[in-house]
Amino acid sequence: MEYIIGVIFIALVAFFFLNRKQIEVIEEVKAVEKAVVEEVKAVEAVVEEVVKKVRKPRATPATSAAKKPATKKPAAKKAVVKKPTTLKKA
């Protein structure tokens, strides 16, 4: 009975000792993930500022109609006069 308890205890100690490295790696990954998320948020903020500077305000139908010039009537087409052709008799 004591052997079984001893083996279980040694197995638990070995398990926690070996998993400690995995836990450290997981914590490092979480730290890197947080840093990446913060950097992406910073880039998004910069992009939004640039978009606000570049984007022109959209015209509403009332303002766009006021800015458009009056439509011009198409110019009347000149009639094409064909000259009569004479056929030479042979």
pTM of the model: 0.39
pLDDT at 89: 62
Contact 59, 67 (CB under 8 A): yes
Sketch the domain layout of the chain as residue ranges: 22-56
Task: Show the tokens assigned to 5.
Answer: 């308890």
Per-position pLDDT tens, the chain of length 90? 777 888 888 888 888 777 776 777 788 888 899 999 999 999 999 999 888 888 766 666 665 555 666 667 767 777 777 776 666 665
What number of helices (H) and strands (E) belong to the chain? Answer: 2, 0
Asked whether the CA dihedral 31, 36, 42, 48 is positive or negative, the reply is: negative
Size of the chain, expressed as the number of residues it contains: 90
Structure confidence at residue 54 (pLDDT): 83
